[in-house]
Amino acid sequence: MTDRNQDAVREAVARLGEWVADLRWADVPAEVRERVVTVLVDAVAVTTLGSREPAQQSLVEAWDPPAGPSPLFGTGRTVAVDAAAWINATASVRLELDDGHRLAGGHPAAHGFPAVLALAAKHGTPGDELCCALLAAYEVAARFGRATRLRPGTHPHGNWGVAGAAAGCARVLGLDPRATATAIDAGSGLPVAGPFSAALDGNPVRDHWVGAANQSGLAAARLAASGTGHPTGVAAGSLGDLLGDFDPAALDDGLGERWEILGGYFKQHSSCSFTHAAVDAALDLTGRLDGDIEQVLVEIHSLGAPLDRVDWPTPLAAMFSLPFAVAGALRRGRLVPADLSPQALADPVTAELARRVTVRAAADLDARLPAERPARVTVTTTTGRFVAERPNPVGDAAHHPFDSDDRARILGDLLDAPEVVAALRDRCVALPTAPDAGAHLRALGATTCF
């Protein structure tokens, strides 16, 4: 790490701190305000879905969180701030349905929204201030994601996103620009170094990296509020030298002009985003196939090529298996949480089809990164060959993006409760004018318990 790079990080973080502290909801463009609400609806709905999973319910029981002001979405309970931040975060990523950002390389909202919501519920933050905090969490996280190039084999959960959680929590606490910069800097010095292989193995510690990120964001903001910290540009060493490479110029490039939240994506398949373009292509082929399937070739960029395992000991492992995802899509015409049940994972027909799926990295598809994350699927049947290709998953900002109505419809289908999603959406739309976000969030939590 060079002193020059560390200085550049510190200066960029100072500008981020000033921007976060000075952000005013009324000055945010209408398109961005609408997107914040849509991302919030998505975050609460997918957290509710995750809360239904037996593994998540076992986690809550084992944790035995103390009562407090912050809702555990989907459970009807309110618990202590730190417990809500961690537990809601793990639920939000448990089914791989949380929104993400292709150019940031991960999930900005999941890294900060749970902590910001939990803290705001305690402090009774006005709704417009909470919305600013959520937007700050997303924008700062996405910019740190853009700035970070992780070493190969490192999972993006729990590292660059901590700075976003810290920024959002600092805003909830009403910190001034310097203290906010201190929080962001401290957050960037609290990364998790998690191996991507944990996700392929189906190890649920991967979900807890996001829980740790949210709790670390709370810790960083509290450190800054104590007045005992100061920004040093620590990301140059933590996210740079130790975990990969770090470009400080990406932190404030177009700040206040380019809104990262508009570049995010929403999911419709319950699986790693690297599988989605292939699943979309497979679904396109289901209506065209003739004859019995003999072989399936999935050509993909090198980021997705390691997702080639044909065994899935846990739902998480299945969500990170291209053979499982593509075989399931060809077999059932979908990939939703119900397809991750113990019965579905043990289905011998899906397993036999998955063994006929070959995953191969393709140089021509690699050349299209990062603007695209393409996949090409070739199905050979007893009567011929059928090919489909997708440049990005459906739902990406650059390929058939979902608007707020699209997302509400998809979430209603996933929850099997469109009326609940409609009520959830109404409450989120009303949030900016709520005088006390704490009461509003607890009412929102009650809406998700059905």
Mean pLDDT of the chain: 97
List all residues 6 or more positions away from 330 whose beta carbon is below 8 Å from its beta carbon.
Answer: 282, 285, 286, 289, 293, 296, 353, 379
Query: Residue 4: its pLDDT value, please?
Result: 76
Query: Residue 396: its pLDDT value, please?
Result: 96
Q: Is residue 283 part of a domain?
A: yes
Q: How many residues does the chain have?
A: 450
Check whether the bond before 370 is cis (ω within 30° of 0). yes
Q: Is residue 398 part of a domain?
A: no
Token pair in block for residue 393:
């998953």
pLDDT digits (tens, 9 = 90+) for 427-447: 999 999 999 999 999 999 999
CA distance 381 to 254: 50
For 26, counting Cβ atoms within 10 Å of its Cβ (0-12 exposed, 13-18 middle, 19+ buried), the class is: exposed
Which residue in 404, 386, 329 sits closest to 35, CA to CA?
404
pLDDT range class, residue 2, cuts 50, 70, 90: low
How many Cβ atoms from other residues are within 10 Å of residue 8's Cβ? 18
> What is the percent of the chain where pLDDT is above 70?
100
pLDDT range class, residue 426, cuts 50, 70, 90: very high
- Map tokens 């890294």 to a residue: 111
Residues 368, 264 share a domain = no
- pTM for the whole thing? 0.97
Picking from 390, 419, 434, the residue at the C-terminal end of a domain is: 390
Q: Is residue 397 part of a domain?
A: no
Q: Is residue 110 part of a domain?
A: yes
Average pLDDT over residues 95-100: 98
pLDDT over 70 (residue 94): yes
CA atoms within 13 A on the CB side of 415: 30
- Cβ proximity of 168 and 112 under 8 Å: yes
CA distance 47 to 191: 23
Strands 385-390 and 375-381: antiparallel
Token pair in block for residue 88:
């809601």
pLDDT digits (tens, 9 = 90+) for 287-309: 899 999 999 999 999 999 999 99
Containing structural domain, residue 293: 273-390
Token pair in block for residue 185:
């800097």
Average pLDDT over residues 32-57: 98
Domain CATH number, residue 352:
3.30.1330.120
DSSP 369: T
Domain CATH number, residue 176:
1.10.4100.10
Residues 284, 248 share a domain = no
pLDDT over 90 (residue 3): no
Q: Residue 240: helix, strand or coil by DSSP?
A: helix
CA atoms within 13 A on the CB side of 15: 15
Residues 341, 319 share a domain = yes
Token pair in block for residue 352:
């036999």
CA atoms within 13 A on the CB side of 259: 17
Query: Residue 137: its pLDDT value, please?
Result: 98
Average pLDDT over residues 18-41: 98
CA atoms within 13 A on the CB side of 269: 31
pLDDT range class, residue 272, cuts 50, 70, 90: very high
- Cβ proximity of 235 and 218 under 8 Å: no
Q: Is residue 432 part of a domain?
A: yes
CA distance 57 to 53: 6
Residues 279, 259 share a domain = no
Q: Is residue 399 part of a domain?
A: no
For 232, counting Cβ atoms within 10 Å of its Cβ (0-12 exposed, 13-18 middle, 19+ buried), the class is: middle
Residues 435, 301 share a domain = no
- Cβ proximity of 306 and 274 under 8 Å: no
Residues 85, 222 share a domain = yes
pLDDT range class, residue 218, cuts 50, 70, 90: very high
Residues 313, 210 share a domain = no
Residues 380, 312 share a domain = yes
How many Cβ atoms from other residues are within 10 Å of residue 314's Cβ? 15
pLDDT digits (tens, 9 = 90+) for 117-137: 999 999 999 999 999 999 999
CA atoms within 13 A on the CB side of 242: 15
Q: Is residue 415 part of a domain?
A: yes
Query: Residue 450: its pLDDT value, please?
Result: 87
- Map tokens 């010095």 to a residue: 189
Residues 155, 65 share a domain = yes
Residues 441, 328 share a domain = no
CA atoms within 13 A on the CB side of 217: 44
Average pLDDT over residues 167-177: 98
pLDDT digits (tens, 9 = 90+) for 53-81: 999 999 999 999 999 999 999 999 999 99
Query: Residue 419: its pLDDT value, please?
Result: 96
Number of domains within the chain:
2
Residues 153, 106 share a domain = yes
Average pLDDT over residues 229-254: 97
Q: Is residue 302 part of a domain?
A: yes
List all residues 6 or more positions away from 369 whose beta carbon is below 8 Å from its beta carbon.
Answer: 301, 303
Token pair in block for residue 276:
């989605």
CA atoms within 13 A on the CB side of 101: 27
Residues 386, 421 share a domain = no
- Cβ proximity of 192 and 158 under 8 Å: yes
Alpha helices in 94-172 (DSSP H): 108-123, 127-147, 162-172
- Map tokens 């399937």 to a residue: 293
> What is the percent of the chain where pLDDT is above 90?
99
